[in-house]
Amino acid sequence: MNSNALRWTCQPFDALIAREVYALLQLRSEVFVVEQACVFQDMDGLDLPAQHLLGWAADGRLAACARLLPPGVKAADVVIGRVITAPWARGQGQGHALMREAAAHCERLWPGLPITLHAQARLEAYYRQHGFHTVSEPYIEDGIPHLEMNNRAPA
């Protein structure tokens, strides 16, 4: 295990302890609200039915996270959302590790089901590296251009 490896946990919201919830919401606020200058309702009710994938650094800081939604909650497919790598952890491959972990946990939780994500358009090439294909025209969500992508084979 290299010094950059994260300790991954994946659990439902009700299994998170208060400090984990605080770290999760703090990181999402730091990146989505402050860094991206986007005022939006982060706590949208979808955390409750979700599985929360958290990547912890050796020093106890939350380095990466994603929200995994079961099929039928936000879309017919499984949905990976709220994908974040902490600013201090970027450039070390943690984002790619996060996506590999997210896909693996989705497969473990919901075997064989397709995965959809609503990606910021600027990250389209990044998600393509993880087997996702663009299936929508660009649209604006919370003032930021997005694309719907999924991991089904292109038609």
43 versus 3: which is more confidently predicted? Answer: 43
CA end-to-end distance (rounded Å), the chain: 39
Give every CB contact of residue 93 below 8 A, 6+ residues apart in sequence.
4
pLDDT band, residue 111 (cuts 50/70/90): very high
CATH number at residue 111: 3.40.630.30
Does residue 59 sit within a domain? yes
Q: What's residue 4's pLDDT?
A: 65
How do residues 80-98 score in pLDDT, each as one tens digit?
A: 999 999 999 999 999 999 9
Per-residue pLDDT tens digits for 31-79: 988 888 777 778 889 999 999 999 999 999 999 999 999 999 999 999 9
Q: Determine, yes or no, domain membership for 35.
A: yes
pTM given for the model: 0.92
Q: How many domains does the chain have?
A: 1
CA 33, CA 42: separation in Å to the nearest integer?
9
2: in domain: no
Q: Which domain, by its residues, includes 105? A: 7-150
Q: Which two tokens stand for residue 9?
A: 């946990």
State pLDDT tens for residues 128-142: 999 999 999 999 988
